[in-house]
Amino acid sequence: MLHLAQNVQDQNLLMEAHAVLGIILFYLGELALSLTHLEQRIALDDPLQHHTLTILYGGVDPEVHCLSYTIATLWLLGYPTQALKMSHETFTLARELSHPFSLAVALSWVTMLHQFRREEQTVQERAEAMITLCREKEIAGGSLWGVALQGWALAEQRQGEKGIAQIRQSLTAWRTVGRAGMQTYALALLAEAHGRAGQVEEGLGTLAEALAVVSKTAERWYEAELYRLKGQLTLQSRQVSGQSQTSLRKSEVPNTPYPAPNPQMEAEAEACFHKAIEIARKQSAKSLELRATMSLSRPWQSQGKQEEARQRLAEIYGWFTEGFDTMDLQEAKALLEQLNH
């Protein structure tokens, strides 16, 4: 498509080709190249063409469509502040257009960004707004992401069963209408909610399903996080029989002691963290590499590998130039301070 569009030098065709290529590359996990094409599409934008091209994008304003993917791509690549700025611009544009479906799409990706940033209260508020909009405007299936993201927020707020039920409901409906994309992300939300509720085996089963989807569809943009979550849940599962399960988030808090060691499970978890780091590096997904490195550093800290953990974490933390107000970077800084002592 891009080759043909370049040959005839048609701006509309060039915009369409860059957009489609950028979105496909996003799902494949080729994030830097995806961002290049999405930004080229945005640079070519002509507001006068919006009405015509909206039809090609399934009823979504084309600029909103591309900006939405750019939000997620920027965060994954390690630019949380730029992603947040882009989310404000996308939401503002969608509101100005007074186009309900475009606004619903913008809300979906803006809410996802806040989930990436682990801001559950904002996720809940945005998800509720998305659900309300889609119901009022009768946007079929449009509230599904709102229901899933609201479910994640509920699980974070210790309403695990309700949250899990909502995410499952959304996944079932998503599959019923024949949508294949973004399943890995939804399954990651579900696995994390299971971990939060202490349902480790269910969480690991969900991740196995998600990784099978990756193998089948090549949707790899969130693959590193799937392996990181698998490692976290593997560590969580090592608790001795009869003890209450430690939540996924608690196990990630610095100074939280791990239960009785199990060398086999520790080795399995470490392999998952290494795999997550390897994938994140290949994709230039710095935000996911930071998370995976923190997940690896915490057990290393308790295993006497403090200096090795410090070096690993200092390297990836030192790469960042923005986003120091986010929870991930704040936790990384706190963990580094502990490893330095």
pLDDT single digits (tens) 308-324: 999 999 999 999 999 99
Q: What is the pLDDT of residues 192-207, one digit of tens each?
A: 999 999 999 999 999 9
- 23 by DSSP, 3-state: which? helix
Tens of pLDDT, residue by residue over 238-277, are 653 334 444 444 444 334 444 455 788 999 999 999 999 9
At 48 the pLDDT is 59
| pLDDT for 242 | 37
Q: What is the DSSP letter of 253?
A: S
Q: What's the whole-number mean pLDDT along residues 49-69?
A: 72
- Average pLDDT of the segment spanning 92-100: 91
189 burial via Cβ count (<10 Å: 0-12, 13-18, 19+): buried
pTM of the model: 0.91
Predicted pLDDT of residue 240: 35
CA distance 328 to 325: 9
CB 336, CB 314: distance < 8 Å: yes
Q: Token pair for residue 81? A: 């502040």
Tokens 């913008």, residue located = 106
- CA dist., res. 151 & res. 164, Å (int): 6
Neighbours of 310 (CB within 10 A): 19
Closest CA to 291 of 234, 224, 338: 224
**Residue 323: per-residue pLDDT:** 97
Angle subtended by helix axes 100-116 and 120-136, to nearest 10: 160
Element (H, E) at 272: helix 263-283
CB 206 within 8 A of CB 183: no
Percent of the chain with pLDDT over 90: 79
The amino acid at residue 103 is L
In this structure, are residues 229 and 258 in contact, taking their beta carbons and an 8 Å threshold? no
**CA–CA distance, 135 with 109 (Å, rounded to integer):** 18
pLDDT (average), residues 113-127: 97
Q: Determine the average pLDDT of the residues in 273-287.
A: 98
- Given this model, what pLDDT does residue 46 score? 72
